[in-house]
């Protein structure tokens, strides 16, 4: 059974650019959540999608957005990149929307903004 796949694994972007990250959940999982991990702030919740609907959003500016497709694959987009957006971005999928079946995490996308 394939795990959660995140692409790309590494990315270098310039300030002001925009970036799109992709997350393919485990087959059958309809909930996908996104997290940002930085040395200073640790792991922080970005947003969660279930059946193509954003169910919850963390405390991040509007530059951070996402969407989910009918096959449950999700993308997150960051516009007008800032140096502080450099981080490991992780997604996790779960069977139920509240994660009561547990979460399976992807390996993450490491974004560096220069």
Partner 1 sequence: KNEVEQSPQNLTAQEGEFITINCSYSVGISALHWLQQHPGGGIVSLFMLSSGKKKHGRLIATINIQEKHSSLHITASHPRDSAVYICAVDGGATNKLIFGTGTLLAVQP
Residue ranges binding partner 1 (CB under 8 A): 33, 35, 37, 42-45, 48, 55-56, 58, 88, 90, 92, 97-100, 102-108, 110
The smaller minimum CB distance to partner 1, of residues 12 and 100, is found at 100
> Residue 104 CB: number of other CB atoms within 10 A?
16
Phi, psi (degrees; rounded to nearest 5) at 83:
-55, -35
Torsion of CA 41, 66, 2, 28, to 10 degrees: 120
The smaller minimum CB distance to partner 1, of residues 16 and 61, is found at 61
The smaller minimum CB distance to partner 1, of residues 20 and 60, is found at 60
Min dist. Cβ of residue 16 to partner 1 (A): 26
């Amino acid at each position: 059974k394939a795990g959660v796949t995140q692409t790309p694994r590494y990315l270098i972007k310039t300030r002001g650019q925009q970036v799109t990250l992709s997350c393919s959940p485990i087959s059958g999982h309809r909930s996908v959540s996104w997290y940002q991990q930085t040395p200073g702030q640790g792991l922080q919740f970005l947003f969660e999608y279930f059946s193509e609907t954003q169910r919850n959003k963390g405390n991040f500016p509007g530059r951070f957005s996402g969407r989910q497709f009918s096959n449950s694959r999700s993308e997150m987009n960051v516009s007008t990149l800032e140096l502080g957006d450099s981080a490991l971005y992780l997604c996790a999928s779960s069977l139920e929307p509240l994660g009561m079946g547990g979460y399976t995490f992807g390996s993450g996308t490491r974004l560096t903004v220069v």
